[in-house]
Amino acid sequence: MTGNNILQKAAIVAELKPTTFKTGSDGFRGQCKVVEGGDKYQVQIIAVRVGSKNGKS
C-alpha cells in the first residue's frame, strides 16, 4: 500500500502557516500536492493547539 509513502512525501513538502480558526482555537494549517505512482493527491493538514480556544493556554 502506498499510503505511508504519500504521508512521508507530504510531510517533506507541506508548508504550515499559523492560523486562528473560527472556533477561536489557534494552530497551523497547510496544504500541498503529492504525486505517487502517477496519481496526484491534494493533502490538507490542520494542527490545532489543544486548550487554545478563546485564548486559553
Is residue 1 very low, low, confident or very high in pLDDT (cuts 50, 70, 90)? very low
CB atoms within 10 A of CB 55: 8
Contact 23/17 with Cβ under 8 angstroms?
no
Give per-residue pLDDT as tens, 36-52: 888 888 989 899 999 89
pTM: 0.67
Is residue 9 very low, low, confident or very high in pLDDT (cuts 50, 70, 90)? confident
User: What does the alpha-carbon distance between residue 46 and residue 29 come to, in Å, rounded to a whole number?
Assistant: 5
Rg of the chain on CA atoms, in Å: 14
User: What does the alpha-carbon distance between residue 15 and residue 9 come to, in Å, rounded to a whole number?
Assistant: 12
Q: List alpha helices for 1-57, DSSP H.
A: 3-13
Share of the chain above pLDDT 90, in %: 35
Q: What is the mean pLDDT of the chain?
A: 84
